[in-house]
Structures are given as C-alpha cells and as structure tokens.
C-alpha cells in the first residue's frame, strides 16, 4: 500500500494527526462549543479516545514557520498579493504584524479581535498559515538580504504560462483539514491586508479528507498516480539539507527556505486515451500501488539498468521517474502538492494534447516545492523534465512563482521581523 513514510525521529503520520507531537489540543472556545453542540449526549458516547480532528492544532510560533514540514492537511489556499504602489518598509511592517497576530490566533482556534464571525474560528483543524516574500517585498525591507534566486524561473519549452497565475509580492499559504475553517481564515487575513495590498491570484487545492484513506497513505493526483514517493520527509537524513540548507547549502537566512509554486494543467481527455501499460511506461511506476516497474513495493529503489525480455530497459529513459532522478545529491526538492479541479461552464467535447482549456475538465496540480536554493535544486530537475519527459504529453505548466520563506517568530514578534533588524 502506498505510504507517506514516517520520519526517522519516531514521528508517525498518526501521531501527527492526533497531535501527540505537534501540540494538538482543544482550545477553550472549541471545548465550549463541543459541549454546547452535544458532546455529552449519549448518542456521542462512542466517540474515540483521541480528540476529534476539528480541535487539533499546529503550533504557530517557533524558529521555523509551520506549513512546510507539517504533515499536509486536506485543503489549501495559496494566495498571492501585490503590494500597493505606495507601499513602504513601515507599511509592510505594520501589515506583517497584523497578519501575524491574527494568523497566530486563528491557528490556535481563537478569534482575532476584529473577527465578526468568531464561532467560525472555533475548530482550527490543524490550520497553518505560512508567509512568503516575493522580490519586491524583500527589496522593500532590505535589498541586501535578497537571495540571488528570488526571481522568476527561466523559461522552459513546455510552459504555457498565464500571467494570472504568476508571481506576486507576498504569499499567504493556508492549509487546513476543514474547508470552512480555511475559508474563514482566508477571509480574515484578506481583510487585514486590503489596506496594504490587492489579491493577485488564489489557488485552491485538495487532497483526501481526514479518515478517507488509511493512515500514512501517499496521496494520489487526478491521473490516479501515487504522487510524492521519493520525498525527503522530515526526520530523514537529507531533509534539513534539502529544505533548510543545513550541511550543504548556504541558507538565505537561518531557518528560512524557498517555495516554487507551479500550476500544472493535466489533460484528462488525452490521458483517458492511454491504456494502463502506456501510462505506466510514461511514469516508470505501477499505477496500482506506486511501485517502480522493477520493484514490488512503492519505496523500492528503481533499477534503471534492468532489461526486459527483448533487451530494452524496463524503466524507459523518457519515463518521469528516470528523468526526475539525478546523480547529483544536491538536486533534490521537498514536494507538498495539492490537486485542483475547477468547474467548467458549457463543458463539452474533448481537449487535445497541449491544450490548456476545452473538454469537460479543468484539472491539475498545485506543485509546491520547498528547497534551500531553487537555482541549484529545482531548476536542474525541471530542465531534465523539459528536455525529455513522457508525462509532458499530458501536462502543461500554466503558472509559476518563486517566494522566499522567512523564519518563524516568537510570541510578540512577527513573521519577517529578523529581516527588519
């Protein structure tokens, strides 16, 4: 069965979900509401020993921002903001302080002071809010601190980028196990920011909801593929290097990282035309369980030298799993991806290969990749995929953005405060 491997530190997917490590617990508001809604009713006497998912929390304050190494929640909203034309360093500081204070409250199940629907904050459902800085934001704070990689990615031949999904000055990444809680938090934070910035784009995504799949199962994308097998999970030996630059890269700031967000359109109409052997040949893995074509389990190491009865490689040179691998140990990323599926008006017919519209689906992947240095980690991988990846037959990148993720903050501080000193 496909699994998100448990980190070597002893954390498990289940322990994270139950809050054994991440400081999960019911807030006062949540506890009161549970009682008010009948938690003591005998009809609810069979409730599990562990807290219900709605009252679980993830810590907000700390050296690093939550939402990167955090076990992925069921829903996300990536929100890019453009700062007002007259934005200054001082106005940005005020904005970040307001956003930080309200995000800190919301993630712990507490309503901010200006929340006109405070009861909607009572079920935090592992809400996290992660803030990222685009080039203009870092330059406003301190141009000398801007990392060299904080710029748009180079052009790739497979791209059909649409400006409505590109870049932005500030990123708000909201992730949550409950869609209602997420929508409310997004509304509160956008009200906070509207005096300072305007919304450039919003990308909503989803995975399986809590309890829909067995604990630890690796997510699937809407091609039906197991997505995220080769990933340096928190607690594994190379996670710190890949994400935070420890022992291999020079971090742009201590406990900071970067995120590359690629919006990838998936053409389900043409994917439907391929049979299972053709799909597995393109991916290099079995669709049923994610195992490499040379293995029996999802996390078996692919054997790129193995030959079939006719002498051809079992895993083709153009397969996605082959093209995404590198002999250079620096060329690794940490992926935390979500599906998207938008309503299509007047849907009919079929789209063709390379189309980014038409047919009955507007479906794809919000590919969020975290790494210490996109130039040295993400770009080389993408170049190989751009040159030769059979999956390009069915996928088209339509959006691209790069943000610097600053460190976390302590109580009384605000996200990004280390850059203002």
Residues with catalytic function: 227
Q: Which residues contact 78 (CB under 8 A, 6 or more apart)?
A: 171, 172, 173, 174, 202, 203, 205, 261, 366, 368
CB contact set of 76 (below 8 Å; sequence gap of 6+): 173, 174, 175, 176, 182, 203, 204, 205, 206, 338, 366
Contact status, residue 102 vs residue 188, Cβ threshold 8 Å: yes
Residue 255: count of CB within 10 angstroms of its CB:
17
**Separation between Cα atoms, residue 125 and residue 57, nearest integer Å:** 6
Could you say which DSSP state residue 163 is in?
Answer: G
Comparing CA positions, the residue from 3, 62, 386 lying closest to residue 254 is 62
Place of tokens 């893995």: 285
Per-residue HEC secondary structure of 190-215 comes to HHHHCCCEEEEEEEEEECCCCCCCCC
Residues contacting 225, CB < 8 A, separation 6+:
283, 285, 287, 290
341's tokens: 């599926």
Residue 263 contacts residue 161 (beta carbons within 8 Å): no
């Amino acid at each position: 069965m496909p699994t998100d491997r448990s980190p070597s530190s002893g954390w498990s997917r289940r322990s994270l979900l139950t809050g054994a490590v991440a400081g999960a617990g019911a807030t006062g508001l949540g506890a009161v509401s549970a009682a008010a809604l009948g938690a003591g009713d005998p009809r609810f006497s069979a409730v599990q020993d562990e807290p219900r998912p709605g009252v679980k929390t993830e810590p907000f304050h700390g050296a690093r921002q939550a939402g990167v190494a955090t076990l992925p929640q069921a829903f996300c909203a990536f929100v890019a903001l453009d700062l007002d034309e007259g934005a200054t360093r001082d106005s940005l500081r005020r904005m970040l302080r307001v956003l930080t204070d309200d995000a800190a409250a919301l993630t712990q199940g507490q309503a901010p002071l200006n929340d006109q629907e405070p009861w909607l904050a009572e079920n935090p459902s592992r809400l996290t809010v992660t803030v990222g800085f685009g080039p203009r934001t870092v330059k406003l704070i301190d141009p000398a601190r801007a990392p060299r990689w904080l710029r748009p990615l180079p052009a790739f031949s497979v791209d059909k980028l649409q400006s409505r999904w590109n870049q932005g000055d500030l990123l708000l990444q909201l992730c949550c196990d409950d869609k209602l809680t997420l929508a409310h938090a997004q509304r509160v934070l956008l009200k906070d920011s509207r005096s300072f910035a305007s919304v450039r784009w919003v990308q909503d995504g989803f995975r399986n909801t809590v309890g829909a799949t067995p604990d630890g199962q690796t997510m699937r994308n809407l091609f039906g593929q197991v997505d995220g097998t080769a990933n340096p999970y928190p607690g594994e030996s190379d996670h710190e290097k890949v994400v935070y630059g420890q022992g291999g890269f020079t971090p742009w700031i201590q406990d900071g990282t970067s995120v590359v967000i690629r919006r990838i359109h998936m053409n389900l109409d043409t994917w439907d035309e391929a049979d299972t052997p053709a799909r597995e040949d393109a991916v290099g893995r079995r669709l049923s369980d994610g195992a490499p074509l040379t293995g029996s389990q999802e996390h078996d190491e692919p054997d790129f030298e193995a030959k079939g009865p006719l002498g051809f490689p079992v895993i083709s040179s153009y397969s996605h799993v082959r093209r995404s691998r590198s002999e250079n140990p620096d060329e690794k990323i940490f992926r935390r991806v979500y599906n998207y599926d938008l309503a299509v008006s007047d849907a009919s017919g079929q789209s063709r290969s390379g189309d980014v519209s038409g047919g009955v689906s507007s479906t794809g992947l919000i590919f969020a990749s975290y790494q210490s240095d996109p130039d040295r980690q993400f770009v080389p991988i993408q170049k190989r995929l751009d040159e030769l990846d059979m999956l390009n037959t069915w996928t088209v990148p339509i959006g691209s953005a790069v943000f610097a993720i600053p460190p976390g903050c302590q109580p009384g501080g605000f996200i990004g405060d280390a850059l203002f000193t």
